[in-house]
Amino acid sequence: MLQKIHIQNYAIIEELSVEFSTGLNIITGETGAGKSILMGALNLTLGERADSASLLNKEKKCVVESFYKTASNKSVKQFLSANDLDMEDELVIRREIAPNGKSRAFINDTPVNLNQLKELSSLLADLHQQFDTMELGDSDFQREVLDALADNAALLKEYSDVYQQYISCRRELETLQSQQSAANKELDYNQFLFDELNDVNLKENELEALDVELKLLSNAENIKQQLGAVYFELKESELPVVQQLKSLNSKLHALEQYHGDIPALTQRLQSTQIELSDIADELERINDSVQYSPERIQQVNDKVTIGYKLLKKHSVTTTNELLAIRDELQQKLNSILNLSEQIKKKEQEQDKLSQQSEGLANKISANRNKVIKPFTEKVNALLAQVGMPNARIQVQLTIVALNEFGNNDIEFLFDANKSNRFEPLRKVASGGELSRLMLCIKSLVAKKLQLPVLIFDEIDTGISGEAAKQVGIIMKELSQSHQVLSITHQPQIAAKAQSHYFVYKGIKDDKIVTAIKLLSNDERITTIAQMLSGEKPTAAALENAREMVSN
């Protein structure tokens, strides 16, 4: 419930405070007195963009505060909690416009951005202005009306979650399929390169080792000859070096008793003899291992030749680099196989989410279908009540591809004259017809939504007499469960007020300023009489006004 609004330095309002009551609050006044300015100030606290041109005193800031009682509003409490804002029994929204045009917004004295303010405002009030009837032709608004009447909120939330998963899954599948398509273009070539490297069956450092082996095999005869010659001189000649060292060592050993340094030399000579003997044995082993084999030379030469071609082909210099390329190709080939498996799983996931989305969308569509008949019947009855007995509305619901709101296309069709030629509402309804139609629809939808405050700014445009009276009756009925604020020029509507406020211009410090006052019962009668017959109401007008108020 909107308890109060306080305005400073806005348009032609120097300072003004208005306290509203529950039920139906009616605001009247002369054209240009500032009624819509009052609504404009309130709209600022609901998230409307600010303009420094609206400052009365260009040297001072403008401040607009609205005070709400929200103790029983769960949605508001959830919003405050989610945004780390203070929760109090009284909710205060403040907008400030500085002389330089910069605007700031506060919720319970905590700064917030405009998006946060708009989100909160959507939970507090519904402001219907004179030109808002255009949204009647908007497909989103029409869908929201049906969903509100069908109690589809929970289903839509569940559907939205599943549908977003479905869209995300579909995008991931498209990405995988794109990757597979690109990979398939290189598949055959990569397979050829891998097979070529894999068939050679190289081991780590193998080409380098084969290169060394090939040199050895190619020079085997010369190597054996030289090794044999060295071995012969060490052990097999007429005077083998090892035998000579042994003989010399014996002679030196006989002299050890004569000089203290000789034993050490004997030991060294013996070690040399042993070392040369070991060298000779190792040379013999190597000589035995070196075998000339034309067949092995051919095998090694063939593999080295293939290996060097591959090195050149892949622009590398070592066996291990070739092995790294082979492993990389293996990973690419495996990834294509993995992609196929991932795509298969993702397709299954997409099908499951698609079926879930379709099932929920069908439930939502069925609920919408159920409310179409009672909705159109009630709206058509209300249209007759507000002076449009020949006007009728129809709802066209068609099945379309899944979208973020289900699988329906919704269109409100309108026939103003019982012509049975129903056309889209946005194309055929006049401004006055739209105003009354909007009131009829909102009076039905408001009962389904948790909007405690409904605000109508001159919704009665283009009507008078009995139609205006019926509009007043509808507003009065709405005010039984909602707080209603309405600016009107119609005495029939003003007469239904629980609280009647009069906006007028006054002069303060040689300036024209807007003021507002809550009318007493006698003042109401006089004001309504003036709305009926002019500034100086007749006795008949006063009597008529008195009867309208009492009824």
Q: What is the mean pLDDT of the chain?
A: 86
Q: What is the CA radius of gyration of the chain?
A: 49
Dihedral pair phi/psi, residue 57, rounded to 5°? -100, 110
| Dihedral sign of CA atoms 417, 422, 423, 425 in order | positive
How much of the chain, in percent, has pLDDT values that exceed 90? 30
**Residue 196: closest CA among 37, 325, 317:** 325
How much of the chain, in percent, has pLDDT values that exceed 70? 96
Name the strands in the sheet holding 392-403, side by side, starting at the edge strand that comes first in the sequence.
Answer: 392-403, 406-415, 423-424
DSSP state of 11: T
pLDDT attached to residue 350: 94
**Residue 180: closest CA among 40, 70, 53, 342:** 342
Residues 483/1, Cβ–Cβ less than 8 Å = yes
The CA dihedral of 417, 418, 424, 425, to the nearest 10 degrees, is 50
Quote the CA–CA distance of 379 and 396 in Å, as a whole number: 15
Residues 50/100, Cβ–Cβ less than 8 Å = no
pLDDT attached to residue 136: 63
Quote the CA–CA distance of 397 and 145 in Å, as a whole number: 13
Quote the CA–CA distance of 33 and 15 in Å, as a whole number: 15
Plot region of 66 (φ>0 → left; ψ -120 to 50 → alpha; else → beta): beta
Give the pair of three-digit tokens for residue 286. 């190597």
| Domain range summary for the chain, segments of one domain joined by + | 1-130+458-519, 177-338
Strands (E) across 404-452 are located at: 406-415, 423-424
> What residues contact 75, with CB distance under 8 A and at least 6 apart?
123, 450
Quote the CA–CA distance of 93 and 91 in Å, as a whole number: 7
Name the strands in the sheet holding 24-29, side by side, starting at the edge strand that comes first in the sequence.
Answer: 125-128, 453-457, 483-487, 24-29, 499-508, 511-518
DSSP state of 293: -
Q: Write the single-letter amino acid at 96.
A: E
In terms of Cβ atoms closer than 10 Å to its own Cβ (0-12, 13-18, 19+), residue 334 is: exposed
> What residues contact 312, with CB distance under 8 A and at least 6 apart?
none
Q: Crossing angle of helices 220-231/262-289, nearest 10°?
A: 150
Quote the CA–CA distance of 329 and 323 in Å, as a whole number: 10
CATH fold label, 1-130+458-519: Rossmann fold (3.40.50)
pLDDT attached to residue 519: 93
pLDDT attached to residue 495: 92
> Can you give the length of the chain in residues?
551
Residues 63/36, Cβ–Cβ less than 8 Å = no
Quote the CA–CA distance of 364 and 342 in Å, as a whole number: 32
Quote the CA–CA distance of 60 and 309 in Å, as a whole number: 86
pLDDT attached to residue 372: 95
**Residue 387: closest CA among 490, 473, 443, 468:** 468
Quote the CA–CA distance of 399 and 550 in Å, as a whole number: 51
Quote the CA–CA distance of 49 and 102 in Å, as a whole number: 10
Burial 302-318 (b: 16+ CB within 10 A, else e): ebbeebeebbeebeeee
Quote the CA–CA distance of 249 and 264 in Å, as a whole number: 11
DSSP state of 49: P
Specify which residues 27 forms β-bridges with: 487, 501
Quote the CA–CA distance of 484 and 20 in Å, as a whole number: 10
Residues 72/27, Cβ–Cβ less than 8 Å = no
Quote the CA–CA distance of 375 and 369 in Å, as a whole number: 10
Dihedral pair phi/psi, residue 486, rounded to 5°? -145, 130
pLDDT attached to residue 140: 82
pLDDT in tens, 306-333: 888 989 988 999 989 989 998 888 887 7
> What residues contact 147, with CB distance under 8 A and at least 6 apart?
153, 156, 364, 368
* Sites in the chain below the pLDDT cut of 50: 130-134
Residues 24/8, Cβ–Cβ less than 8 Å = no
pLDDT attached to residue 167: 95
The CA dihedral of 197, 202, 206, 207, to the nearest 10 degrees, is -30
Residues 474/385, Cβ–Cβ less than 8 Å = yes
| Dihedral sign of CA atoms 448, 453, 457, 461 in order | positive
Give the pair of three-digit tokens for residue 533. 């017959």
DSSP state of 234: I
Dihedral pair phi/psi, residue 499, rounded to 5°? -130, 130
**3-state percent breakdown (helix, strand, coil) of the chain, nearest 5:** 60, 20, 25
Give the pair of three-digit tokens for residue 548. 């309208």
Residues 435/474, Cβ–Cβ less than 8 Å = no
